[in-house]
Amino acid sequence: MHRTASALLAALLTLSLSACMETGPALPAVSDAAPALAPPIPVDNRAKADFARMTGINSDAVAAISGDAARSYIYFDLFAANKEAVAAAPERLCRQYGKSLKTSHVTDPGDRVPGMKALVVECK
């Protein structure tokens, strides 16, 4: 009888503890179409004012710009950059090249520097 009471008590404790546990949100599914990493952040010794003029993103947030009119990479600090300026940067950069915007997306740089993102811009 004592053994049955112990088993019953253990079962009740397990049930009451499981009712207190919360489950976290479901993790997002991994997409097969995730954008490829951009090249690692290059050294770009141009004046920060040039970055702001070319992209419209505040100069303290842009680390480098590489590429050409066909495909460019704007490396920026996700936390320091003005979000509206980042959204408008692809069209502005293409205009700097005398082109129009084909596509753009944000990805991580190949060296995965924390807080940094790469805006991939293709002009036509």
Q: Summarize pLDDT for 18-77 with one digit per residue, the tens.
A: 444 444 444 334 345 668 999 999 999 999 999 999 999 999 999 999 999 999 999 999
> Dihedral angle at the C-alpha atoms of 83, 61, 80, 107, nearest 10 degrees?
60
Tell me which of 24 and 9 has the higher pLDDT. Answer: 9
| Sequence-ordered list of residues with C-beta below 8 angstroms from that of 99, at least 6 positions apart, any chain | 69, 123, 124
82's CB contacts (< 8 A; 6+ apart) are 57, 58, 61
Q: Is the pTM of this model over 0.75?
A: no
Amino acid at 40: P
User: Tens digits of per-residue pLDDT, 18-32?
Assistant: 444 444 444 334 345
